[in-house]
Structure 1
Amino acid sequence: MECSCEQNIPYELIIEGDMGGDPIWCSHCGSNLDIDEISISEGLKEELWDWMTRYGEWIDWDKDKLLPNGIEFEVEHNRQGMELTEKAKKELEGKHKIKFSPSTSARRYANARKFWRR
């Protein structure tokens, strides 16, 4: 597992949902890391992939707008992400420091909609 940091081996990791890529990132340089190169169980890898594929389900991408109950969908997605982060912390204890980066896209869409109504 390599990143763009000077030492090429990340110690601090971030679990974050995104469109495409893997759900694990280097906290320092922002490199997207190959989940298959991280020593977590296959079960947790599958859970992280499943969680990642649901990123953005609160947005109608064709109409570029927030779906009804979109904020609630995002809150639930973030709750699940926190649970997966806790599992990863247990599996990687002593090897990596891990934190979770929650999604805020639903709130940005909601705020943009309020702005354009003025």
Structure 2
Amino acid sequence: MECFCEQKETYELKVEGDVGADPIWCSHCGCNLDIETLPISNELIRELMEWVRLYGEWIDWEKDKLLPNGVELEEEHNKQGMNLTEKIKKELEGKYSIKFSPSIVANMYANKYPS
């Protein structure tokens, strides 16, 4: 997949949620990659896009604070992300090195605004 690395191509990918971004990234340069160019099934693309759409559901964005059950919501989101990462690995079988990068936003908010 094309990225901003010196060699202009990466085979080392990271699955990571973020607001307004596709969930596939270059593990080296951090380039956000177009999920449509990854040779995976349309069903898996749909699952990944639904997963990333829910990123940050544990935060009250208007008040800039963690929801009461925010840590648990983020943990569930990370579990789903790990499961989706395993599905990607199965579909790509050795073509790419793929790792999952869990969200740590809830812990950051919990430390920033302790109860």
Q: Does TM-score exceed 0.5, indicating one fold?
A: yes
TM-score by length of 1: 0.95
Unmatched tracts of structure 2, length 5 or more: none
- Look up the match of 1:20: 20
Where has structure 1 moved over 6 Å in runs of 4 or more? Answer: none
TM-aligned CA deviation for residue 102 of structure 1: 0.2
Amino acid at match of 2:47: E
TM-aligned CA deviation for residue 7 of structure 1: 1.6
Unmatched tracts of structure 1, length 5 or more: none
Cα distance in 1 between the residues matched to 2:10 and 2:92: 13
TM-score by length of 2: 0.97
- Look up the match of 1:58: 58
TM-aligned CA deviation for residue 36 of structure 1: 0.4
- Identity fraction in percent: 66
Amino acid at match of 1:19: V
SS at match of 1:99: strand
TM-aligned CA deviation for residue 94 of structure 1: 1.7
